[in-house]
């Protein structure tokens, strides 16, 4: 099953890479390969096919870390990045565990991830504010000496 997962990541990532080139989409081919692989594996798992749950859990956990990293870039105050990841990633792992164990932990993890998003994005003013003036000042500061 591990070899099927690795081949699947390469195949789906290759297809995503081609789509990025043709349609100029802004997606990460590797992320598409990993998430596409665990999506078909999860569907097979739910349909009662023999799936290595360890491989599935590793892939899903990797996606949780990737999502946390991508959202971290949008924090308005980067001094809280560690706290963001310390809250979001364990909640995501709990959600993944709940999916794979077919239990209520999924809902608890999902609520935890939602609360983290509310705490760090909606309550704190949301995304980074990058106006053209801010970017111009940053560029001038970089090129000053």
Please tell me the predicted confidence (pLDDT) of residue 126.
46
Q: Which two tokens stand for residue 25?
A: 């989409």
CA distances from 104 to 51, 98, 108 (A): 21, 6, 7
Q: Band of the pLDDT at 77, cuts 50, 70, 90? A: confident
**67/111 Cα distance (integer angstroms):** 16
Please write the tens of the pLDDT for every residue from 4-21. 999 999 999 999 999 999
Please tell me the predicted confidence (pLDDT) of residue 137.
64
Please write the tens of the pLDDT for every residue from 44-57. 999 999 999 999 99
User: How many other C-beta atoms are found inside a 10 Å radius of the C-beta of residue 116?
Assistant: 22
DSSP 28: -
**55/122 Cα distance (integer angstroms):** 34
- What is the average pLDDT across 128-132? 57
**Has this prediction a pTM greater than 0.85?**
no
Please write the tens of the pLDDT for every residue from 83-128. 999 999 999 999 999 999 988 999 999 999 999 989 888 864 544 5
């Amino acid at each position: 099953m591990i070899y099927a997962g690795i081949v699947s990541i390469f195949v789906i990532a290759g297809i995503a890479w081609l789509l990025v080139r043709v349609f100029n989409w802004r997606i990460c081919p590797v992320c598409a390969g990993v998430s596409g692989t665990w999506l078909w594996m999860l569907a097979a798992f739910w349909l009662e096919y023999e799936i290595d749950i360890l491989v599935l859990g590793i892939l899903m956990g990797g996606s949780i870390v990737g999502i946390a990293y991508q959202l971290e870039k949008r924090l308005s105050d980067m001094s809280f990045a560690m706290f963001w990841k310390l809250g979001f990633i364990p909640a995501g792992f709990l959600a993944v565990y709940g999916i794979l164990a077919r239990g209520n932990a999924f809902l608890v993890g999902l609520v935890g991830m939602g609360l983290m998003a509310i705490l760090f994005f909606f309550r704190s003013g949301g995304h980074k504010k990058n106006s053209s003036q801010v970017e111009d000042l940053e560029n001038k500061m970089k090129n000053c000496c």
